[in-house]
Amino acid sequence: MPMHYIYLVIAILAEVAATTALPASRQFTQLWPSILVVVGYATAFFFLSLTVKVMPVGIVYAIWAGLGIVAVAVLGVVIYGQRLDLAAIAGMGLIIAGVLVINLLSSTTGH
């Protein structure tokens, strides 16, 4: 796997961790979840900046945001007991399909 994809995976994981910790930070009144939010977003943007040196920013952002949305929604169900209706699940299926189309069929992804 090329390094820019590894950087993108790290950026996605860091952003997902930070976003998932937001409710636990309770508007930044809880120390450790708040630290996770700040460090997670800083890490995500750092590794995102490394990725956009090689790949187009629009493609990177589409992959990063799309996979982040789905991962955070799944973690919201698992960790916080949030519910997803059929429309939300269908929409996330479309997001995943879009990320797959970009990665498998587009020549602009840098692979």
Residue 21 lies in a domain: yes
DSSP state of 30: S
Residue 110 has a pLDDT of 60
Report the number of distinct structural domains present in the chain. 1
Residue 108 has a pLDDT of 80
Residue 110 lies in a domain: no
23-34 burial, b for 16+ CB within 10 Å, e for fewer? eebeeeeeeebb
Question: What pLDDT tens digit does each residue of the chain (111 aa) get?
Answer: 899 999 999 999 999 999 999 999 999 999 999 999 999 999 999 999 999 999 999 999 999 999 999 999 999 999 999 999 999 999 999 999 999 999 889 888 665
* Alpha carbon distance 52, 47 (integer Å): 9
Residue 96 lies in a domain: yes
Residue 81 lies in a domain: yes
Residue 111 lies in a domain: no
Residue 13 lies in a domain: yes
pTM here is 0.91
Q: Which residue range is the domain that position 93 belongs to?
A: 3-105
Residue 56 lies in a domain: yes
